[in-house]
Amino acid sequence: MNLVLPSVPSMPSRLSWSCVRLSCRACFRSVAFVVLVLMAVASRLAAAEPYIYLIERFSSNQVTIHFNTDANRTYSLQYLDSSKCTNGGVPCSSSQVPTGSWSNLWVAPRLPFPDHYVITDYRTNRMRLYRLKVTP
Amino acid sequence: MTRGGGIWAVVVWLTAGLPAAACDLCAIYSADNAREQRKAGLVLTASESFIPYRTVLFNDEKISGSDLDFNDSSITHIVPGYNFSRRFGVSLGLPVVYHNFKRTEVRYSLTSLPVVRTEQSSELGLGDVSLIARWTVFELAKMEYGFGVNILAGVKFPTGDTDRIADEVEQTRIFEALLPSGTPHDPLGHSISGVHQHDLSPGSGSYDGIFGLTARARWSRLFLNAQFQYYLRTEGESGFTYGDEIMASGGPGIYLLLHEHFTLNLQGIVSYDSMARDELDGRLSNRTGLTAWYLGPQVGLTVGERFSAVGGIDLPLRITANGLQNVPDYRVHASLVWRF
């Protein structure tokens, strides 16, 4: 879930160095490519992917789930009690990630500013998968 | 003193120019309590301050939205006072606090999922009572000019209800119990509203010091006054401490009407208000603390030698606030004074 971003500050210097040696057309293509990359990076930074940054045991029979939220987005903390991908069981994606019917555990209110939450859940099962769903 | 001199004596110290009528000192000295012709005897002041907190700031950026939290705050002070002499008097400030508000919060629990709750309601109650003494350290009054300085000092007592602060602190402690030990965290970091519980609380639970200085000058129909206040806060309910507060205001004015039985004046006032960050158990909250500049007109009226009134509005010039806070759209204040 973590984004690995290119080292943006190094790009302009690399670009200007290579433009010296390329034709104008090639240089234009390079500039356009870098602009597209920067736009993509900016869009990813502006709307970061939902990210559960910590799950830990709490008291004798609970866990806490920690996550941050962006402004103006609704976050749903969801869970799934089975991770087995079987033909007759939980459907999975090609990368073996369960895609079955996830249940909402808690929905964070849509706020006009970023925030963070800590949600508690009981350890009733041997295992439970959690994910964050964000809209829009 | 001549008859004309008597009129001037009434109007000379008509207004002390104290625009922030929500404060204890302002309520007491906002009208003509500090005027030159102060005689021994009872004085009764009623003052009102209305402040709509409907502008929401997040790290100084204005938040836009159609259904934001708000707090329309009204504080009415009833202030009986007694002047022992021209130079010394005391006043008792009895604030009645009314808040009409909407706030959304996430209520955390150690045993169940958090609950998102929106509370749209009102809060009415007696606030913290204050007892303030005035000492006129310098006074000069001539027909054409005058000058005076007052020193004010007092104590604010923990008479107001503090249930909301206790609830806010309880929520803080529950939330912090859910965090890994040693996690740095703002004491009010669990809040998702710019209207905090302590903003709505009528009382603080603390004994606070109140200190002030007022100065005024007049030349013919023109006058100028200024005042400075400092509120020294101590620890109150559940370990919560409001930040110390500094207020300063003042400006020039002119008497528009001078009649034997009534006077009318107009004044322009610049106000500065700085609230330090609140503390919980000695830890500062970066979701509190505010600095604001206001500018606005104030009108003063006297009728006879017993009645006076002041009213004005403060429009914000600049407000900076830490974290997420609702700040004033404007401030309206008015005072009525009757001398027995």
pLDDT digits (tens, 9 = 90+) for B292-336: 999 999 999 989 888 999 999 999 999 999 999 999 999 999 999
pLDDT score, position A16: 33
Of B104, B111, B179, the CB nearest to A118: B179
> Are A117 and B106 a contacting pair at CB < 8 A?
yes
Mean pLDDT in residue range A86-95: 69
| Cα–Cα nearest to A92, from A103, A80, A104 | A80
> Are B192 and A109 a contacting pair at CB < 8 A?
yes
Q: How confident is the model at residue B236 (pLDDT cuts 50, 70, 90)?
A: very high
B110 contact residues in A (CB cutoff 8 A): 59, 120
To the nearest whole Å, the CA of B105 is away from the closest chain A CA by: 10
> How many angstroms separate the CA atoms of B275 and B59, rounded?
16
How many other β-carbons are positioned within 10 Å of the β-carbon of residue B99?
21
Q: Are B223 and B253 in contact (CB under 8 A)?
A: yes
E-state strands within chain B: 41-53, 55-58, 61-62, 70-83, 88-107, 115-126, 130-141, 145-156, 208-219, 222-232, 240-241, 245-258, 262-275, 279-280, 283-284, 290-303, 307-321, 324-327, 331-339
pLDDT above 80 for B18: no
User: How high is the mean pLDDT of chain B?
Assistant: 88
pLDDT above 80 for B147: yes
Q: Which of A58, A63, A74, A113 to mutate to test the interface with B (most CBs of B within 10 A)?
A: A113
Of A64, A109, A112, the CB nearest to B178: A64
> Are B106 and A109 a contacting pair at CB < 8 A?
yes
Q: How confident is the model at residue B144 (pLDDT cuts 50, 70, 90)?
A: confident
Structure tokens at B215: 């100065």
DSSP state of B64: P
pLDDT score, position B26: 54
> How many angstroms separate the CA atoms of B22 and B40, rounded?
27
Structure tokens at B242: 């409001």
Which of A33-47, B33-47, B111-125, B285-299 shows the lowest mean pLDDT across its residues? A33-47
> Are B113 and A120 a contacting pair at CB < 8 A?
yes
Residue A3 exposure: Cα atoms within 13 Å on the Cβ side: 15
- Contact status of A49 with chain B (Cβ, < 8 Å): no
> How many angstroms separate the CA atoms of A15 and B226, rounded?
61
To the nearest whole Å, the CA of A89 is away from the closest chain B CA by: 29
Q: How confident is the model at residue B209 (pLDDT cuts 50, 70, 90)?
A: very high
Q: Which of A74, A78, A120 to mutate to test the interface with B (most CBs of B within 10 A)?
A: A120
Non-local CB neighbours of B41 within 8 Å, separated by 6+ positions: B82, B83, B339, B340
CA of residue A44 relative to chain centroid, distance: 9
pLDDT score, position B11: 33
ipTM, two decimals, is 0.73
- Residues paired with B335 in a beta bridge: B47, B310
Q: Is B85 exposed, middle or buried (0-12, 13-18, 19+ CB in 10 A)?
A: exposed
> How many angstroms separate the CA atoms of B140 and B307, rounded?
23
pLDDT score, position A35: 58
> Are B113 and A119 a contacting pair at CB < 8 A?
yes
For the whole model, what pTM was predicted?
A: 0.80
| Cα–Cα nearest to B150, from B215, B90, B211 | B215
Output A82 or A11, whichever has higher pLDDT. Answer: A82
Structure tokens at B303: 């009728």
> Are B58 and A113 a contacting pair at CB < 8 A?
yes
> Are B175 and A109 a contacting pair at CB < 8 A?
no
> How many angstroms separate the CA atoms of B7 and B91, rounded?
26
Q: Which of A58, A104, A118 to mutate to test the interface with B (most CBs of B within 10 A)?
A: A118
In chain B, whose CA is at the least distance from the CA of A104?
A: B113
> How many angstroms separate the CA atoms of B23 and A59, rounded?
46
Q: Which of B59, B69, B106 to mutate to test the interface with A (most CBs of A within 10 A)?
A: B106
Which of A36-50, B7-21, B168-182, B303-317 shows the lowest mean pLDDT across its residues? B7-21
pLDDT above 90 for B96: yes
Non-local CB neighbours of B267 within 8 Å, separated by 6+ positions: B15, B17, B223, B225, B251, B252, B253, B254, B297, B298, B299, B300, B312
B324 contact residues in A (CB cutoff 8 A): 113
B111 contact residues in A (CB cutoff 8 A): 120
Radius of gyration of chain A (CA): 21
For residue B329, the surrounding DSSP H or E stretch is none
Q: Is A131 exposed, middle or buried (0-12, 13-18, 19+ CB in 10 A)?
A: middle
pLDDT above 70 for B255: yes
Sign of the dihedral defined by the CA atoms of residues B164, B52, B25, B292, in that order = positive
> Are B110 and A120 a contacting pair at CB < 8 A?
yes
A116 contact residues in B (CB cutoff 8 A): 189
Give CA angle at B306 (B302, B311), nearest 5°.
40
pLDDT score, position B17: 36
- Contact status of A105 with chain B (Cβ, < 8 Å): yes
E-state strands within A1-136: 52-58, 62-69, 74-80, 103-108, 115-122, 129-135
Prior bond of B297 cis (ω within 30°): no
